[in-house]
A = this chain, B = another copy of it.
Amino acid sequence: MTPDTEAKISESFASQSLMQTLGATLQSIKAGRVEIAAPILESSKQQHGFAHAGLTFSIGDSAAGYAALSTLPADHEVLTTEMKINLLAPGKGERLIARGRVIKPGRRLIVVQSDVFALHDGVETHIALMTGTMLPITPE
């Protein structure tokens, strides 16, 4: 991963207004691995007071997408074409952490996985397993 790619990921993340609305932050960028965290805000909950699955999905999808982008030249983009989420436990606690990684890099398609954890009193619980496909977009 070049410094250009890293700068580009930070810039792209900063321009996603939903990530700001959710309070999400980019925690780390490595080649093929990206971590995003978000507090479980009062404004991000479902009807029982836990993190909404929409929050879990949003940061898990972004972490996976940027993990894919980290394997491409700095002038490329990626689009999520499909993503499946299996919810394993309620999003209970103060904070969610999504760890995305590339399972299979590629020129035409990149297969990715994200694991999302809830942090509660210092203990991480695995709350979601996500697998999906990212489509690299080459500059014209």
Contacts and interface: CB of A to CB of B under 8 A. Distances in A.
Interface of A: 12-13, 15-18, 20-22, 42-47, 52-55, 57-58, 61-62, 79-89, 103-104, 108-109, 111, 113, 126, 129, 131, 133, 135
B88 A80 contact: no
A16 B46 contact: yes
- Per DSSP, are chain A's interface residues mostly helix, strand or loop, or mixed? mixed
Contact of A104 (B44, B83, B88): B88
A7 B52 CA distance: 21
A50 B34 CA distance: 23
B58 A80 contact: no
B16 A131 contact: no
17 contacts: A13-B47, A16-B46, A16-B47, A17-B43, A17-B45, A18-B55, A52-B58, A53-B57, A80-B87, A81-B86, A81-B109, A82-B82, A82-B86, A82-B133, A88-B111, A108-B108, A113-B129
A13 to B, nearest CB: 8
Given A17-B42, A57-B58, 8 more contacts: A12-B47, A57-B61, A81-B109, A84-B84, A103-B126, A108-B108, A108-B135, A131-B131
